[in-house]
Amino acid sequence: MKLLLKPLQWCYCIYALITFIAIMLLIFPFAILAGFWGRIKGGNMILRLCMFWADCWFFLIAIQFQKIFASPHDKRKSYIFVTNHISYLDATMIPKAFRQPLRPLGKVEMSKVPVFGFIYRKAIVTVNRNSPKDRTKSLLLLRSILRKGISVLVFPEGTFNMTTKPLKSFYDGAFRLAIETQTPVKPVLFLDAYRRMSYKSLFSLTPGISRILYLDEISVDGYSMKEIKALKEKVYEKMEAKLIEYNAGWRKE
């Protein structure tokens, strides 16, 4: 049966790719114009264009989102959002999941993709994880963005979780930044991203429900720079427990 359905999935994935590119090309001229308004105002305008793109694309490929809030979310506050990273779909879900001014931290390699790369550079803080100098520069930029009242998003795992555990180990960066700037950490979980499209193949995309779980914010009041590890472990434990509780998808074999 799976062999019979495979050609249908390939056709669906090709259709999804075509619509992805078509909508991206549609918003590209507006993104160029928005770029003239600078990193902050222009970046916020491009983020809204990305929200439009995400709304259209996910509707056309029949992926529906279900948002689950552990407590009411205040969009007026600045947060350091941290989320799990297990799918090629994660980056495309960002403008769907976060409806407030936001700057994600993303890999610099993605900025080299034609058309998409231009939008990516304007809406995202890029980082070359292999360069200590570039990592420091990115953290300084994230601090300045937080001071302007704009939230940031970090994938603390750094790369795809290819383990058989709900999460792989976290880097310190997001938690160091949270304590330095006294900004609360807000974990957000993409519960079904792996089921909709795994990291194993771009042709693994399937339609269906994709749940997003917004956990309670975690205050950093009282934490010192010596307690980065304690904060990191606290966030990790909360995220891991909820991934298990909600039967999230990850590689379990």
Give the domain ranges of the chain. 2-245
- Percent of the chain's residues with pLDDT above 70: 97
Instruction: Assess contact for 152 and 103: CB atoms under 8 A.
Output: yes
Least confident of 82-91, 116-125, 200-209: 116-125
Instruction: Assess contact for 140 and 186: CB atoms under 8 A.
Output: no
Strand partners, 64: 209
Number of residues in the chain: 253
pLDDT at 253: 63
pLDDT at 202: 87
pLDDT band at 2 (very low <50, low <70, confident <90, very high): low
pLDDT at 3: 65
pLDDT band at 176 (very low <50, low <70, confident <90, very high): very high
Give 106 or 20, the one with higher predicted confidence: 20
**Residue 120 predicted with pLDDT over 90:** no
Among 109, 154, 146, 104, which Cα is nearest to 124's? 104
Residues 192-235 pLDDT 10s: 999 999 998 889 999 999 999 999 999 999 999 999 999 999 99
- Residue 22 three-state SS: helix
Backbone angles phi, psi at 250, to 5 degrees: -160, 170
Average pLDDT, the chain: 91
Q: Where are the beta strands (DSSP E) in 22-140?
A: 63-69, 80-83, 102-107, 125-127
Least confident of 82-91, 152-161, 244-253: 244-253
pLDDT band at 129 (very low <50, low <70, confident <90, very high): confident
**Residue 252 predicted with pLDDT over 80:** no
Q: Which CATH architecture group holds 2-245?
A: 3-Layer(aba) Sandwich (3.40)
**Residue 108 predicted with pLDDT over 80:** no
pLDDT at 4: 67
Q: What is the mean pLDDT of residues 144-151?
A: 93
**Residue 191 predicted with pLDDT over 70:** yes
Gap between the Cα atoms of 131 and 124, Å rounded: 18
pTM above 0.85, yes or no: yes
Give 238 or 120, the one with higher predicted confidence: 238
pLDDT at 138: 86
Backbone angles phi, psi at 27, to 5 degrees: -90, -10
